[in-house]
Amino acid sequence: MVATLSPLLRRAAAFGGGVALTLGTLLAVPTAAQASTDYGPAAWVPASTSNYTNASRESDYNINYVVIHTIQGSYSSAINWFQNPAAQVSAHYVVSKGGAVTQMVREADVAWHAGNWTYNTQSIGIEHEGYVEQDGWYTEAMYQASAAIVRSVTSKYGIPRDRAHIIGHNEVPGATHTDPGSRWNWTYFMQLVNGTTPPSWTQTVDNTTAGRFTASANWGTSSYSAQRYGADYRYANPQAVSDAAWYKFAVPATASYRVEVWYPAVAGYNTSTPYVVVTTGGNTTVQVNQQANGGKWVTLGTFTLAAGDYNAVGVSRWTSTSGYVIADAVKLTRV
Ligand SMILES: [Zn+2]
């Protein structure tokens, strides 16, 4: 039965089980938004009174936690669902991928989001548009909007701005949910909450950047693909040799950096090109399919790099897959 349900209905089943619904009840027309009285930037669209508990926090319960959730659906689907009396779930705030915020339960009231009565009574619940298992939902705009809510409520209720008090749904005792999942960047989010985001820094090194790119004469030069970064790029046959092309960066501090690579994608190039990232924990290799996602920045991941001016990223020839390995451009961004 569960497999035939929409994500929202599956979610309801996961929360409460056995909630009988017709499709029509999901199609409530969104209410024209008013301003929230608890939090200025939010629109106010009240949840159904069937979906939360009236309270007088912090007279009857102290607010000690913020619980971070993922909707497993769209922003509008959550707003509609919490207005539906059959939902039997709610959250104080809903945040969209674009950074819009709707409040649906007053902070003084107890929203039903944590699946744990004690935690419900002591927390503010924030739902985020998207899916735990998909890339691309947790945007910069969303992190900024959500962190601003957390700054507001932590300051109002004296909640410590740490990970013991700002938690994921998965961290609620007894939780059967996994949200917000591994794609939620807690380090970055807590930096935003605490106002300790690092100074912005980015550096791009192309194969033609003077003094910052090295490759042996075994690496040819080509301008064959229009997806190249700059005038040209370098290519080499795969071989079990230590003959990497290296990109040198002036890393300003030992910190977290996002590593992105740019290459032209051509049928016949290597599907498993090894990019080597020199991290504080040793060299980490990320395989990239250079027949796909050409002509744009492709993220290898976020890594801790040591401060210094050194060869931080390389393209290795050491792969058993056939086809040229390509070395074009690499970008580091401090995060
Ligand atoms: Zn949740």
Measured in angstroms, how far is the CA atom of residue 30 from the centroid of ligand 1? 22
Question: Residue 137: what pLDDT?
Answer: 95
Report the length, in residues, of the chain: 335
Q: Ligand 1 centre from 169 Cα, in Å?
A: 5
Q: Give the list of residues 6+ apart from residue 158 with CB closer than 8 angstroms, or none.
A: none
CA 21 to centroid of ligand 1, rounded, Å: 21
CA of 124 to the centre of ligand 1 (A): 12
Give the tens place of pLDDT for each residue, 129-169: 999 999 899 988 999 999 999 999 999 999 999 999 999 99
d(CA 107, CA 92): 7
Domain 202-334: homologous superfamily in CATH: Galactose-binding domain-like (2.60.120.260)
The low-confidence residues of the chain, meaning pLDDT below 70, are: 1-33
* Distance in Å, CA 306 to ligand 1 centroid: 36
The two domains 2-194 and 202-334 share their CATH topology (first three levels equal): no
Cα-to-centroid distance, 26 and ligand 1 (Å): 19
Q: What is the DSSP string of 39-104?
A: -TTSEE-PPPGGGEE---TTTSS---EEEEEE-SB-HHHHHHHHTSTT-----SEEE-TTS-EEE-
The per-residue pLDDT for 85 is: 97
pLDDT at residue 3, rounded to an integer: 30
Ligand 1 centroid vs 299 CA: distance in angstroms?
A: 27
Residue 118's contacts (CB-CB under 8 Å, 6 or more residues apart) are: none
d(CA 21, CA 154) in angstroms, rounded, equals: 37
C-alpha 56 to ligand 1 mean position (Å): 23
Asked if residue 45 lies in contact with residue 30, where contact means CB atoms within 8 angstroms, the answer is yes
> How far, in Å, from the CA of 179 to the mean position of ligand 1?
5
Query: What pLDDT is attached to residue 44?
Result: 96
Q: Are strands 123-128 and 65-70 parallel, antiparallel or unpaired?
A: parallel
In the prediction, which pLDDT does 101 show? 97
What is the C-alpha to C-alpha distance for residues 127 and 91, in angstroms, rounded to an integer? 7
What pLDDT, on the 0 to 100 scale, is given for residue 32? Answer: 52
Asked if residue 65 lies in contact with residue 160, where contact means CB atoms within 8 angstroms, the answer is: no
Query: Which tokens belong to 116?
Result: 């744990």
* pLDDT for 5: 33
Ligand 1 centroid to residue 332 C-alpha, Å: 33
Could you tell me the distance, in angstroms and rounded to a whole number, from the CA of residue 258 to the centre of ligand 1? 28
**What class, spelled out in words, does domain 2-194 have in CATH?**
alpha beta
Residue 68 vs residues 51, 74, 111, 241: alpha-carbon distances, Å: 18, 16, 13, 47
Q: How far is the CA of 144 from the centre of ligand 1 (A)?
A: 19
Domain chopping of the chain, boundaries: 2-194, 202-334
Residues 201, 305 contacting (CB under 8 angstroms): no
| Owner of token pair 């998965």 | 170
